Structures are given as structure tokens and as C-alpha cells.
A and B are shown apart, each in its own frame.
Chain A
Amino acid sequence: MLKIENLHAEIDGKEILKGLSLEVNAGEIHAIMGPNGAGKSTLAYVLGGRPGYEVTQGTVTFNGKDLLDMEPHERAALGMFLGFQYPVEIPGVSNVQFLREALNSQRKARGEEPLSGGEFLKLAKEKAGLLKLDMEMLKRNVNVGFSGGEKKRNEMVQMGILDPAFAVLDETDSGLDIDALKVVGEGINAIMRKSDKAVLLITHYQRLLDYVEPDFVHILSAGKIVKTGGADLAKQLEAEGYDEVMAA
């Protein structure tokens, strides 16, 4: 589904990704762990097409199409979702308006009919319920005045509504309390754990992986994947730390 080959990327002339290769197939959940500064968020933003992140070498294909050749909104319409580490506040635009515009933009790009206001609200209510986010919050401005945990749950509500084929979740677990972590973990499973979908889960901690069990765990260090294993690798990291595991 997603195939990354020898990816090199830089920000402001500084190379962050230095030859990263990774293949994710439908039905799989991959976790990427790694020390601070390894390039985890850079990988997420490169996949999401954030301006300023320049790919200097390598290829990324998504369902056979050249992902890097597409604008961010085109990637979204094709089924790519980026869960932000720091979700952005948009004063003056309500969540409901934002998401309806987003969903209908995607549907239009795919040649589908737009959802009516009523149909959209029904869908939004269902997904908000799944993530235990008060429907009232969806009527408020996008992320404005939301706590860290509410912003992260809102990201997952958005993912539920947009129903992507592939999700890159950048530290979705950071800022969540224990209960919220469980809700978000179960939300990810409910929305994305399907045979035609895949997830790239970027995280620092084993905790989220207790709820969302990965099929593969990769260690990213200095811009490359240096070790790949199963769910056990994350547990080993938690117990022993990066230095020890990477040296082994």
C-alpha cells in the first residue's frame, strides 16, 4: 500500500531523513519508535506533504501512485490521513464546518456526491461517540480552547469521519491521560484495524501499543530504520532503552 524507498529529506538545508525504506501493506499496523531527533515527525510531515520539507532523493508510492508528486489535499483525497502531533487551532471555523468541507472536498475529488448537512451530522455524532468526545465540542471552533487530550481525540474523530485508507499518526498518544489513551487506542482499532487499511503509528512509548498491537515495530535512528521486529521489540525497548537495543 505504502512503499518508501531510500528517502532523503531535509528542512532548511539540514538533512533529517537519510535513506529511509519501509513497506506497509494493507491490513498492517506498523509502529515507528526512536529517540528524539531521529526524524519521526519529519517522516510524518514528508508523507503529509508539509511545505518546507524537501525530498532530495528516493521515492514514495501510495497504492502505486507517486505520493511525492501530489499536493497535500490530493493525498488526503486518495486516502492518506496525518494525525498531527500538535493539532492546529483555527479560530472562526467550527469543527463541523471544517470537517464537512473536508469530507465533501475529498468526495468531490473522488467523483462522489457530497453529504447533506443531516447525513454529515449523523456521521459526526457516531464518530464523536466512538471517541467519547462531546458533540458540543464539534460545534466549537477547530481545536480552539481544547485541552491537549481533547485535541488528540478530535484528531481521531476527524480520522473516523474522513475514513482514510492509510493513517500516519504522529505521537497521537502524547498528552493523553490513562483513560483517554484507552479510548484513543480502541478508536484507532475500530476505525483502522481492517483488511483494506493500514496505519503507521509514531510513538515514544509502549503504552499505546498495549491497545493497538502493531504487526511490526521499527526503530528509527539518525534518519534511517535501523532495526525491525514484532510487537516484542517495543517491549524490549521499554525495558532496556534505545542504546542497548540498537547496539545488540
Chain B
Amino acid sequence: MSQQNPTLKDEEWRYADAKALAALSPDTFEAWRDIDVAPGETHRECFVLDAAEPSLTRIRAKVGEGARLELFAVNLGGDYTRMEVITRLETGAHFEFGGVTIGGGDAVREFVTRTTHDEPEATSNQVVRAVHWGEATGNFLGAINVGRGGQRTDAAQDFKALVLEKGAAANAKPELEIFADDVKCAHGAAIGQMDEMARYYMASRGIAPDLAKKLLVRAFIADALAALEDESEAERLLDTALAVLDDAEAMIA
């Protein structure tokens, strides 16, 4: 391979796991998957990223005029797990992204998106929730590029992280680059801990601490899947994410 593997010096890889990057085969970085959504069509896809080994999921998408791309992902990999989505939106197209990173151990789990609004009236909405414990890290790096032609773009990004234990971490890096003057770009990021008062309130009504935690985490990550219209699929993803918490419960009670 002509290129070297990326390192933490590369902006889009700054929160990655350096050791995992160095160990991955160079081919892995070339393995892009292309999604082309034809004008007026909707493409929806859900991902459960649960590899035990370091893994990359790289997607390049083109969303045609008036089309919709809806991607939902639960990232609970056992080692460095990264999902990257580069999206180019044509006129009036929409990109919906819902992501959950959840888990303990010492893995880095991340979503990296770059969304380009070069044509008018395209919209995008990205909601990412991170729940981590142990020495795990959850990241969301979201770039939005609005070119000169991207008038009346409406783009939103919302990241929230719940750090359940000292030692766990979360990184948020919104990156907006806007060259059009009639656009709406909203972004928010918050990193916090479990609401202990809510937990106590639940306990005072008879709900045991582990169940209270589960209910609160479920409510927290459900935001990322709220736009998934297929309710049974949303439930499946939620349950998959919460199962990780169940498995770890004994360790973090």
C-alpha cells in the first residue's frame, strides 16, 4: 500500500486508539463501502458493531435529489471500533444519523461523520449518545461542510455522553464549515454523570438501583433511535445496547 496508516496526528483520528491503528492492515483503511441513494428514494440501514477485534466501518454515501439516507448504529465493539460516514447531499436530500456507543473495558468506540451540503435545501440530523464505564472512551467527531451552493441548509448535531465511572471518557468534536449565508446549523454536546437524584427518587418508589440505572440509560440512549420509524427495529437496537449494561452490571453496581 502506498499510504501509511493514519495516526493520532491526523485530525479525524485524533481520539482513536493509536495501537489499534498501527496494528490494522493497511487494506482495512481502503475498504470503503459506497451507498448511492437514487433521487426520491429512501435508504435505511441499521448496524450493530460488535467485533471483538479492532474494526473500521467506512461508508461513502451520495444522497440524490429529494432522497433520504437513514443510518442507525449501536457501537459496542470489544476493541477499537470506528464507524465513519461521509455523506454528500444533493438538493433537498436528507441525512438522518442515530448512533449509540456503549461499553466498558478500555476500548475506544467512535462515530466520525462528514456531511457535505453543497446544494440547496438539504437537511441533516445527527443524534449520538455515549454511555461508558471502566476505562472506555466514546467519541463523536462530526463535520458539516456547507458550500456556497448550500443555501437553506438545515443541519443539526446533538451529542450527549453519560460517564458512569471515573476513568471512562467521552470526546466531542463538532466542526462546522459554512460558506453560504442562509443556513441553519445547530450543534450541541454535553458530557455528564448519572443523575443520582433521579436514581434515588426511583429507589424511594421501590425500584432497585440496577433497574433504575437501566431505565435511565435506556431513556438516555433512546434519543439516538427516536427517528427510527421501525419501532421493533428500534427496540432491537435498544435491547442490544442495554444487554451490554446488563452484562457489566455486577462490575459497576
A121 CB, min distance to chain B CBs, angstroms: 18
Task: Report the separation of the CA atoms of residues A123 and B200 in the bound assembly, to the nearest whole angstrom.
Answer: 24
Closest to A94 in B: B219
Given known A72-B200, A88-B197, A88-B201, contact A93–B206 (CB-CB < 8 A): no
B220 at the interface (CB under 8 A from A): yes
For A80-121 the 0/1 string (1 means CB < 8 A from B) is 011010011111110001110111011001000000000000
* Contact yes or no, B219 A91, CB < 8 A: yes
For A92, give its contact among B206, B207, B208, B223 (CB under 8 Å). B223
* Contact yes or no, A102 B206, CB < 8 A: yes
For B197-222 the 0/1 string (1 means CB < 8 A from A) is 11011111111110100011011101
B164 CB, min distance to chain A CBs, angstroms: 16
For A98, give its contact among B196, B202, B203 (CB under 8 Å). B202
* Contact yes or no, B220 A90, CB < 8 A: no
A185 CB, min distance to chain B CBs, angstroms: 22
A99: B residues at CB distance < 8 A: 205
Q: How large is the interface on B (under 10, 10 to 19, 20 to 34, 35 or more residues)?
A: 20 to 34
A50 at the interface (CB under 8 A from B): yes
A74 CB, min distance to chain B CBs, angstroms: 9
Interface residues of A, dominant DSSP: helix
* Contact yes or no, A90 B198, CB < 8 A: yes
Q: How large is the interface on A (under 10, 10 to 19, 20 to 34, 35 or more residues)?
A: 20 to 34
Give the A-B pair count, Cβ closer than 8 A.
77
B202 CB, min distance to chain A CBs, angstroms: 7
Interface residues of B, dominant DSSP: helix
Task: Report the separation of the CA atoms of residues A73 and B212 in the bound assembly, to the nearest whole angstrom.
Answer: 10
* Contact yes or no, B196 A51, CB < 8 A: yes
Q: By CB atoms of chain B within 10 A, which of A76, A97, A103, A158 has the most?
A: A76
A69 at the interface (CB under 8 A from B): no
Closest to A143 in B: B201
A162 at the interface (CB under 8 A from B): yes
B215: A residues at CB distance < 8 A: 93, 97-98, 101
Q: By CB atoms of chain A within 10 A, which of B202, B204, B219 has the most?
A: B204
B129 CB, min distance to chain A CBs, angstroms: 11
B204: A residues at CB distance < 8 A: 48-50, 72-73, 75-76, 81-82, 84
A110 CB, min distance to chain B CBs, angstroms: 10
B200: A residues at CB distance < 8 A: 50-51, 72, 88
A134 at the interface (CB under 8 A from B): no
What 5 pairs between A and B have smallest CB-CB spacing? A92-B219, A76-B206, A102-B205, A72-B203, A106-B206
Closest to B205 in A: A102
